[in-house]
């Protein structure tokens, strides 16, 4: 099973408590960004385009713990930037484990072998490794030749040492569905616990603005990838969210489900958009005009978004919202989704982006991978 029973029970009991209390808006996962600095400069990333003085800053462990306690969510995702560049990331993780939070430390794994001795295996800690596909496609996406092999080495080391390891994959227009399916096979062969996958979001600051998916193309691509599923594929995410990506379900965005805290405070309204900041979590929840966001709002920034940070919490809410939702989740967990039409989609000619664009080498050399001090 891709998610341990203890974690499933923690999340289920938390959601049920929120529903019993009559709360319509509640956080499920805290997106905790302790820094923006990174050792990659991916073409589709909108998180690292800050002035040098901002990139040199980071949250203290105490600031992280305060945000976690304010929010109260049972799970904490630590993206960035690259969290392993944080000089006290071990203390942050140790403190969150002590608080019995389920942690997904998101990393490109370039430093994982070097830093792994800072951590101890725990059911509360998962290394979520950024892998955007098979070797050529991944290296193109992260703008680093050899990036795939370095990440692969980090995954193997973490798995061998008994850590929980998942992969997270962002797909853009031009993705080859057959290659993605082959990539799933490769990751399962490594012994990872499960995989996460999501369409990319068109950050205003991302260098590459040409290859973000619209909603129709997202459904087309994910139908091809996720139908006729292999029995050994395991996904570390809501099966109803995967159905949403395939076009089998329709959800409203719940941006409060995965609130973001970073150097600037509590980010409005979500992990992807930056429409101001709140000083406290309570202010974020009470003062944000939530009706102005989501596909239904007419906000052009939300028009094509189907990203997990906006919609996976919606799927989890559906799961525990009724017996029907729970039974749908059980069925979806074991479904293989046979679909002849999707098999035909796999036969469509595809010219991957990396086949007609040169790989742009953003970072090279060992010096670029070293930790930098603030």
What does the domain layout of the chain look like in residue ranges?
5-351
- Pairwise CA distance, residues 10 & 102, whole Å: 9
Q: How confident is the model at residue 145 (pLDDT cuts 50, 70, 90)?
A: very high
The mean pLDDT of 213-218, rounded to a whole number, is 83
Q: Tens digits of per-residue pLDDT, 42-66?
A: 776 766 778 889 999 999 999 999 9
- Pairwise CA distance, residues 263 & 59, whole Å: 6
The mean of the pLDDT values for the chain is: 89
Q: Tens digits of per-residue pLDDT, 243-296?
A: 999 999 999 999 999 999 999 999 999 998 999 999 999 999 999 999 999 988
- Pairwise CA distance, residues 142 & 133, whole Å: 11
Architecture of domain 5-351: Alpha-Beta Barrel (3.20)
- Whether residue 370 is predicted with pLDDT greater than 70 in this model: the reply is no
SS3 at position 307: coil
The mean pLDDT of 216-239, rounded to a whole number, is 95
The mean pLDDT of 330-344, rounded to a whole number, is 96
The mean pLDDT of 236-240, rounded to a whole number, is 95
Sign for the pseudo-dihedral over CA of 18, 315, 104, 37? negative
- Pairwise CA distance, residues 192 & 2, whole Å: 9
């Amino acid at each position: 099973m891709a998610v341990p029973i203890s974690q499933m029970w923690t999340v289920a009991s938390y959601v049920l408590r929120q529903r019993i209390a009559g709360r319509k808006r509640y956080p499920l996962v805290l997106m905790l960004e302790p820094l923006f600095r990174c050792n990659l400069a991916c073409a589709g990333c909108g998180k690292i385009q800050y002035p040098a003085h901002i990139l040199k800053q980071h949250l203290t462990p105490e600031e992280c713990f305060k945000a976690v306690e304010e929010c109260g969510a049972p799970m904490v995702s630590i993206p960035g930037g690259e969290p392993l560049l944080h000089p006290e990331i071990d203390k942050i993780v140790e403190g969150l484990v002590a608080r019995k939070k389920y942690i997904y430390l998101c990393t490109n794994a370039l430093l994982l072998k070097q830093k792994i001795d800072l951590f101890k295996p725990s059911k509360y800690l998962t290394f979520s490794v950024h892998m955007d596909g098979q070797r050529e496609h991944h290296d193109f996406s992260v703008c680093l030749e050899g990036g795939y092999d370095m990440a692969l080495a980090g995954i193997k080391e973490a798995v061998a040492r008994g850590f929980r390891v998942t992969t997270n994959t962002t797909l853009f227009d031009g993705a080859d569905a057959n290659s993605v399916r082959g990539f799933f096979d490769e990751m399962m062969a490594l012994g990872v616990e499960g995989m996460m996958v999501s369409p990319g979001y068109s950050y205003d600051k991302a260098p590459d603005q040409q290859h973000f998916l619209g909603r129709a193309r997202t459904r087309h691509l994910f139908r091809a990838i996720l139908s006729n599923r292999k029995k050994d594929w395991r996904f570390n995410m809501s099966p109803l969210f995967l159905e949403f990506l395939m076009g089998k379900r329709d959800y409203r965005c719940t941006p409060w489900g995965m609130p973001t805290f970073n150097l600037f405070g509590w980010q409005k309204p979500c992990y992807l958009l930056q429409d101001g900041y709140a000083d406290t979590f309570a202010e974020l929840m009470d003062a944000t005009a939530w009706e102005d966001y989501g596909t239904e709002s007419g906000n052009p920034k939300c028009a094509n978004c189907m990203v997990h940070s906006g919609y996976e919490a919606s799927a989890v809410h559906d799961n525990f919202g009724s017996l029907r939702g729970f039974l749908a989740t059980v069925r979806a967990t074991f479904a293989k989704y046979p679909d002849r039409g999707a098999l035909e989609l796999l036969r469509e000619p595809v010219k991957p982006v990396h086949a007609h664009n040169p790989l742009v080498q953003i970072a090279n050399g060992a010096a670029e991978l070293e930790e930098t001090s603030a």
